Amino acid sequence: MSEDPPPIPTALRMQAHACRRLGSPLNGALLDRAAEDWLAGGPVKPLLAPWAHCGVRALFDAAASLRLIGAWHELALCGDDPAMAQAYAALDEAAIWTAARHAMVADRARMAAFMAHEPQTNEVRRAICLVGGFLEIAKVTGLPLRCFEIAASAGLNVSWDRYRYRMGEAAWGDPAASVSMDTDWQGPPPTAEIPIKVIERAACDRRPTDLTDPAQRRRLLAYVWADQPERLARIRAAIDVTLAQGVTVEAADAVDWTRARVAPVAGAATVLYHSVFWQYMPAQSQTALAQLIVDIGSSATRDAPFAWLRMEPDPQNMLEMQVRLTLWPTGTEQVLATVHPHGAMVNWTAT
Ligand SMILES: C[S@@+](CC[C@H](N)C(=O)[O-])C[C@H]1O[C@@H](n2cnc3c(N)ncnc32)[C@H](O)[C@@H]1O
């Protein structure tokens, strides 16, 4: 009888496949090497030892493979390991593997400490998935917006209205903005000739990334794949905007914060928004937050509307990412788009 393959190399190979599919052949190749290394008892094995008891699903939930490639990239970004830095700068996969294999022995404690920390990501191009929703809210309500982001990480998408977007034939935002993005826009363009005024903005995260701390900033960059330079350039520019604007992300649980901070106000559309966060809440919190949102919605009026805009996996198919909008007082819900998890594609389906 053949034995099941061990979960860790299986998870590494699956993540390798996902990286290739999401446009990072470099990490695809590196993670395949890591799987081989684990099977051969190389230095990957002790680094992944904290997850040795996990099945494949738990390894994915813990993002163990991403922690590993994040730890290598972080070492390159910090500059303490010139061989690693040079190999990453050249995007030379063989040289990165050689340097990483050496560093996993020589710098094991540092890498293990990096990997013990929960991954922290903030994807700027998710804003292009959400912006059509903000436009829709402004169009339908005709009101300025009060924007509340939960699970905002470093707060890079708190300033979504300060960025420039190209969405197929349409564009929105300041043409001179230092952060700009486009996407493979499919379907009709959104109505983009709408000036939007954000009159209030606030954000929370359970564990906000403090951008004034170089180590935390580097952690955020380390989780951006090195062979996607455009993503790295965009996040660096968004960090500058976020710091310059003095954006603050309050350290709070999404349910508590929403209860304390979010309520409709006359003369503005109040928007609660989030991206790629729902799955990180325990089921009990998901139920509590969903109920709280409905309760907030029930206090909305035509003069004080409330919108819930989110980019999250389709509840019926976790592999498909959707943008949904629910707008009160009517409570009308629509799927606006299906999207790539990093915003590389937006298939706009709203009528
Ligand atoms: C995958 S990151 C996404 C960050 C950001 N929304 C984005 O799309 O780039 C998930 C975020 O959810 C936050 N988070 C998880 N559970 C939370 C909770 N109960 N309350 C507040 N934030 C939470 C994490 O700290 C993390 O910053």
For the segment 91-127, what is each residue's pLDDT rounded down to a tens digit?
999 999 999 999 999 999 999 999 999 899 999 999 9
Higher pLDDT, 329 or 58: 329
* Ligand 1 centroid – CA 47 distance (Å): 25
Which ligand 1 atom is at minimum distance from the Cα of 123?
Answer: 9
99 with 136, same domain? no
* Cα–Cα distance for residue pair 29/95, rounded to 1 Å: 12
Q: Is the CB of 207 under 6 A from ligand 1?
A: yes
183 with 265, same domain? yes
What's the whole-number mean pLDDT along residues 39-64?
A: 95
227 with 310, same domain? yes
Partner residues linked to 348 by β-bridges: 337
* Ligand 1 centroid – CA 193 distance (Å): 31
The residue type of 281 is M
Q: Choose among 183, 167, 77, 71: nearest CA to 123.
A: 183
Q: Choose among 70, 92, 88, 84: nearest CA to 19.
A: 70
Q: Is the CB of 153 under 6 A from ligand 1?
A: yes
Alpha-carbon distances, residue 59 vs 9, 67, 219, 314 (angstroms) = 10, 11, 20, 22
Q: Is the CB of 280 under 6 A from ligand 1?
A: yes
Indicate whether 322 pLDDT > 70: yes
Tell me the per-residue pLDDT of 153-174, one tens digit each, with 9 for 90 and over.
999 999 999 999 999 989 999 9
Which ligand 1 atom is at minimum distance from the Cα of 118?
Answer: 25
Domain end among 116, 136, 170: 116
279 with 308, same domain? yes
Question: Which domain covers residue 83, as residue numbers?
Answer: 7-116
* pLDDT for res 61: 84
State how many domains the chain has.
Answer: 2
Q: Choose among 204, 207, 209, 206: nearest CA to 220.
A: 209
* Ligand 1 centroid – CA 122 distance (Å): 9
* Cα–Cα distance for residue pair 72/104, rounded to 1 Å: 8
As a three-state string, the secondary structure of 90-134 is: CCCHHHHHHHHHHHHHHCHHHHHHHHHCCCCCCCCCHHHHHHHHH
What's the whole-number mean pLDDT along residues 241-253?
A: 98
Indicate whether 320 pLDDT > 90: no
* Ligand 1 centroid – CA 340 distance (Å): 18
Q: Is the CB of 238 under 6 A from ligand 1?
A: no
- Note the pTM of the prediction, 2 decimals: 0.93
* Ligand 1 centroid – CA 301 distance (Å): 30
68 with 206, same domain? no
* pLDDT for res 221: 97
Tokens linked to 15: 């993540």
Tokens linked to 181: 């993005």
Kindly state whether residue 104 falls inside one of the protein's structural domains.
Answer: yes
The DSSP call for residue 194 is -
What's the mean pLDDT when you consider all of the chain?
A: 95
Tell me the per-residue pLDDT of 330-345, one tens digit each, with 9 for 90 and over.
999 999 999 999 999 9
Kindly state whether residue 308 falls inside one of the protein's structural domains.
Answer: yes
* Cα–Cα distance for residue pair 254/206, rounded to 1 Å: 7
Which range, 185-194, 231-240, 316-325, has the best average confidence (pLDDT)? 231-240
77 with 147, same domain? no
Q: Is the CB of 126 under 6 A from ligand 1?
A: yes
Kindly state whether residue 2 falls inside one of the protein's structural domains.
Answer: no
Q: Is the CB of 104 under 6 A from ligand 1?
A: no
* pLDDT for res 1: 52
Mutate which of 131, 148, 206 for ligand 1 pocket (most atoms within 8 A of beta carbon): 206
* Ligand 1 centroid – CA 105 distance (Å): 32
112 with 172, same domain? no
Question: Within a 13 Å sphere around the CA of 329, how many CA atoms are in the beta-carbon half?
Answer: 8
Which residue is associated with the tokens 């989780």?
A: 223
User: What are the DSSP calls for 199-218, one per residue?
Assistant: EEEEEEESS---TTSHHHHH
* Residue 191 banded pLDDT, cuts 50, 70, 90: confident
* pLDDT for res 5: 80
What's the whole-number mean pLDDT along residues 197-210?
A: 97
* pLDDT for res 146: 98
* pLDDT for res 190: 84
* Residue 2 banded pLDDT, cuts 50, 70, 90: low
Domain end among 116, 148, 179: 116
Q: Is the CB of 281 under 6 A from ligand 1?
A: yes
Which residue is associated with the tokens 């209030």?
A: 200
Kindly state whether residue 229 falls inside one of the protein's structural domains.
Answer: yes
284 with 192, same domain? yes
Domain end among 116, 151, 182: 116
193 with 282, same domain? yes
101 with 167, same domain? no
Tell me the per-residue pLDDT of 251-304, one tens digit each, with 9 for 90 and over.
999 999 999 999 999 999 999 999 999 988 999 999 999 999 999 999 999 999
Indicate whether 319 pLDDT > 90: no
Kindly state whether residue 155 falls inside one of the protein's structural domains.
Answer: yes
* Cα–Cα distance for residue pair 314/53, rounded to 1 Å: 30
